[in-house]
């Protein structure tokens, strides 16, 4: 075992090998940080704040760009210091440009929300007759004290009050009765009711509770082919599995196209307990699998790389159109495309630049993503896989076979980065999240790829769709078994402190776990680092880095962490 650990540790400590190892591309990190923070601040302010800030950023961008150009021109006289200063000012110019773009986007959004006549009528609490466009598929809300309800996002196109027509696009959140459950995304529908205003930080300008059933429903232009494919897959899943396994019949639509409406409530709770709910939403992993399968299949048929990439992108666009072009699905397609591009290009160093650029573009297109937990988790999971996926696999490979190390490293890296945010949403520690994701991982690709094929075949060849439902259902059955069994194990969900304290404690625990794993595998490297530090200390202070002192310090930190976690 010791030799195996040293064999893994030695390349890491060797300068020549480490120089060949691809490093994360963080050149766009300042632009990402500035754009994300600026959007988070600006969406809570009046539109004038964002407009003035955008003008200041443009001025700063022009000044920094001019300074960078002058420094580059004088590089030969100034030397390396001038080159470094030129790169720094160029980074400032790019960050100011990205931040100014985000501020400008916020100003446009907030101006419409705050100055349109429709916004004034909403603020006055008037009863409106409304024509709106549904922007996402209705989803069943959690059980409450009254009848079941659905929620979805929509955009009010125009409204009438006292015979007067008010124009202006106004995003709202709709909470309605079951009669609205089958209104498809993209449809235009009429109703009546009051819109309760919300704060500027909310994505929607208000909450609409319709006083009527959906009236004058007009599907999106171009027909509803997506609904036909979705209905065909739902029918195939029910036809094949409803009698033998209701869990599979309800889980298949969720794992393939993000439709959890038919999932049994008990199964939903079990999957939430063990951290498998991401499998029943269209995520970046789904889009990566679809894109990768198309790309690799076309390349296997010796299609040119450009033609294969273009066809695969068209296939991904079709998949997004079928499952529903909700904002969350579009974000998943972007993240999935990044993962697939990194995997197929053979240049993982590009992932950092691609991820950074996509974050800036998405935040500029929709500034409210800066506070969207789903978007934050998606970015953190992708970042965790990029920064720590291969490193975790190398470190875990000291104790287990390579295939097992890779299987553990993928959910472990994603969970370590996402857990501090997850506890803000659900203050529980799911002890079996990593084992559950490891157990479910081998069948996810089967369910997604075969299920997508069955969804496409649904309206065209029902027997083929049923066969695909049977094959992919076998994988969904295994996921359901894993979720129900692991959620029933002792301590499957442990209470955890909520709020900022819970997030900090979780981050500290994850950092300690990574540090311990690194220290065990890279013992020679860590030992050399401590030796260098000891040599730099005065002789009388070197005991601070001794084994006993470090052990006592670690014990005190562990005790303080435990006391904080238990609320003592």
Which residues neighbour 111 within 8 Å (Cβ) at sequence distance 6 or greater?
Answer: 47, 51
User: Alpha-carbon distance 526 to 544, whole Å?
Assistant: 16
Token code pair at residue 91: 């980074």
- Return the closest-CA partner of residue 336 out of 364, 350, 355: 355
Has residue 3 got a pLDDT over 50?
no
pLDDT band, residue 1 (cuts 50/70/90) = very low
Has residue 334 got a pLDDT over 60?
yes
User: Alpha-carbon distance 479 to 474, whole Å?
Assistant: 9
Tens-digit pLDDT profile for residues 407-461 = 777 778 888 888 888 888 888 888 888 888 888 888 887 888 888 888 888 778 8
Has residue 234 got a pLDDT over 60?
yes
User: Alpha-carbon distance 113 to 46, whole Å?
Assistant: 10
Q: State the residue for tokens 């159109």.
A: 321
Q: Which residues of 29-43 are buried (b: 16+ CB within 10 A; e: fewer)?
A: ebbbebbbebbbebb
Average pLDDT in the 530-541 region? 76
To the nearest whole number, what is the mean pLDDT of the chain?
Answer: 78
Given a contact cutoff of 8 angstroms between Cβ atoms, the answer to whether 279 and 479 are in contact is yes
pLDDT band, residue 522 (cuts 50/70/90) = confident
Element (H, E) at 208: strand 206-208
Average pLDDT in the 356-381 region? 84
pLDDT band, residue 53 (cuts 50/70/90) = very high
User: Alpha-carbon distance 451 to 160, whole Å?
Assistant: 45
- Return the closest-CA partner of residue 281 out of 259, 249, 250: 259
* More reliable by pLDDT, 150 or 523: 150
Has residue 207 got a pLDDT over 50?
yes
Average pLDDT in the 45-61 region? 90
Is residue 218 classed as helix, strand or coil in its secondary structure?
Answer: strand
pLDDT of residue 2: 39
Domain boundaries, the chain: 2-115, 117-223, 230-274+444-496, 504-566
Beta bridge mates, 193? 128
Average pLDDT in the 360-365 region? 86
Has residue 81 got a pLDDT over 60?
no
Q: How far is CA 387 from CA 23, 45, 138, 391, 393, in A?
A: 9, 35, 36, 8, 12
Has residue 104 got a pLDDT over 90?
yes
pLDDT band, residue 368 (cuts 50/70/90) = confident
Tens-digit pLDDT profile for residues 370-397 = 888 878 887 888 788 777 777 778 777 7
| Architecture field, domain 117-223 | Beta Barrel (2.40)
pLDDT band, residue 346 (cuts 50/70/90) = low
pLDDT band, residue 325 (cuts 50/70/90) = low
Has residue 103 got a pLDDT over 90?
yes
Maximum CA pair distance of the chain? 88
Q: How far is CA 550 from CA 101, 520, 530, 538, 555, in A?
A: 49, 15, 11, 17, 9
pLDDT of residue 221: 61
């Amino acid at each position: 075992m010791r030799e195996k650990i040293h064999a893994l540790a030695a390349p890491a400590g060797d300068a020549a090998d480490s120089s060949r190892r691809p490093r994360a591309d963080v050149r766009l990190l300042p632009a990402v940080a500035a754009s994300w923070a600026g959007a988070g601040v600006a969406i809570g302010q009046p539109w004038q704040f964002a407009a003035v800030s955008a003008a200041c950023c443009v001025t700063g961008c022009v000044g920094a760009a001019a300074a960078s150009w002058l420094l580059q021109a004088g590089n030969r006289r100034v030397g390396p210091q001038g080159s470094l200063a030129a790169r720094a000012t160029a980074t400032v110019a790019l960050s100011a440009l990205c931040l100014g773009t985000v501020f400008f986007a916020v100003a446009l959004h907030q101006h419409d929300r705050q100055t349109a006549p429709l916004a004034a009528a909403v603020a006055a609490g008037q009863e409106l007759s409304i024509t709106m466009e549904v922007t996402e598929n209705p989803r069943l809300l959690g059980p409450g004290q009254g009848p079941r309800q659905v929620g979805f996002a929509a955009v009010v196109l125009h409204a009438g009050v006292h015979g007067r027509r008010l124009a202006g696009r106004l995003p709202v959140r709709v909470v309605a009765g079951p009669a609205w459950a089958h209104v498809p995304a993209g449809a235009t529908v009429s109703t009546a009711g009051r819109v309760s205003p919300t704060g500027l930080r909310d994505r929607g300008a208000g909450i609409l509770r319709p006083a009527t059933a959906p009236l004058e429903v007009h599907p999106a232009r171009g027909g509803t082919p997506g609904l036909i494919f979705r209905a065909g897959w739902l029918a195939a899943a029910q036809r094949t599995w409803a009698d033998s396994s209701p869990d599979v019949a309800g889980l298949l639509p969720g794992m393939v196209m993000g439709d959890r409406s038919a999932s049994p409530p008990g199964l939903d709770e079990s999957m939430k307990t063990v951290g498998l709910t991401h499998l029943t939403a269209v995520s970046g992993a789904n889009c990566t699998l679809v894109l990768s399968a198309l790309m690799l299949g076309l390349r296997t048929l010796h299609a040119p790389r450009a033609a294969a990439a273009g066809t695969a992108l068209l296939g991904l666009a079709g998949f997004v159109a079928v499952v529903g072009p909700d904002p969350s699905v579009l974000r998943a397609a972007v993240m999935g495309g990044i993962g697939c591009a990194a995997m197929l290009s053979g240049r993982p160093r590009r992932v950092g630049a691609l991820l950074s650029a996509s974050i800036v573009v998405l935040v500029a297109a929709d500034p409210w993503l800066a506070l969207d937990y789903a978007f934050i988790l998606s970015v953190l999971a992708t970042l965790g896989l990029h920064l720590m996926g291969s490193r975790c696999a190398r470190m875990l490979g000291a104790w287990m076979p390579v295939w097992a190390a890779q299987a553990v490293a993928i959910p472990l890296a994603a969970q370590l980065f996402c857990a501090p945010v997850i506890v803000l949403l659900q203050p529980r520690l799911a002890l079996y999240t990593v084992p559950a994701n490891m157990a479910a991982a081998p069948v996810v690709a089967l369910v997604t790829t075969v299920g997508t094929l069955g969804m496409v075949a649904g309206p065209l060849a029902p027997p083929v769709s049923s066969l695909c439902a049977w094959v992919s259902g076998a994988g969904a059955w295994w996921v359901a078994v894993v979720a129900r069994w692991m959620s029933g194990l002792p301590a499957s969900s442990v209470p955890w402190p909520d709020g900022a304290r819970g997030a900090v404690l979780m981050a500290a625990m994850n950092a300690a776990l990574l540090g311990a794993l690194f220290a065990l595998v890279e013992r020679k490297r860590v030992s050399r680092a401590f030796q260098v530090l000891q040599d730099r200390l005065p002789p009388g202070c070197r005991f601070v880095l001794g084994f006993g002192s470090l052990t006592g310090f670690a014990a005190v930190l562990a005790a303080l962490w435990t006391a904080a976690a238990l609320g003592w």
